[in-house]
Amino acid sequence: MSGRAAHAGTGRELWLAIAAFLVALAMPARAQQDVPEAGPLAVSRPPDAENGRRIVTDRRKGLCLLCHSGPFPEVRFQGDLAPSLAGAGSRWTPAQLRARLIDSRLFNGETIMPPYFRAEGQSRMAVAFKGRTILTAEEIEDVTAFLATLRE
């Protein structure tokens, strides 16, 4: 099953997500409240926030700090293409964080954030990555759990 199908869940949830997306589109950028949400993914073990932190700070795994900065003093080079991850857990609920990770295009069709749990729809996917998502369901849950701890 693809990551997207797993995330969409029932048809009702999918329509809610689409409706939320359309509402968000029609509203001024700063006034978004009804943003897409995604319930916990089916995983084989409980979320591990510590592993989530490792993924976030790994340039080859999570890639997060190529674009984002955040409270990671040990990481020397951080990006400034995207907002700081500091306080992400105060700004967004876990369900909203998870939805962003799965496919940030649900929030913003023009986003530069890669879709971390979508293996279909990309053009010219490298052979080595074909059919694979950037993170596994377990890793999505780990990162979600970790980001939720980043409170201001």
Cα gap 22→54, rounded to integer Å: 35
Considering only residues 120 through 149, tell me which ones interact with other proteins, judged by CB under 8 A: 121-129, 132, 134
Q: ∠ CA(70), CA(71), CA(77), 5° rounding?
A: 60
* Terminal-residue alpha carbon distance, the chain: 37
Q: Does 115 bind other proteins (CB under 8 A)?
A: yes
Q: Does 1 bind other proteins (CB under 8 A)?
A: no
C-beta closer to other proteins: residue 10 or 128: 128
Q: Does 79 bind other proteins (CB under 8 A)?
A: yes
C-beta closer to other proteins: residue 9 or 114: 114
Please report how close the Cβ of residue 46 comes to other proteins at its closest, in angstroms. Answer: 27
Q: Does 66 bind other proteins (CB under 8 A)?
A: yes
Token look-up 């990309």 returns 122
Cα-Cα-Cα-Cα dihedral sign, residues 79, 81, 87, 93: negative
Cα gap 110→130, rounded to integer Å: 23
Residues of the shown chain interacting with other proteins in the complex, contacts defined by CB under 8 A: 59, 63, 65-67, 76-81, 112, 114-115, 119, 121-129, 132, 134
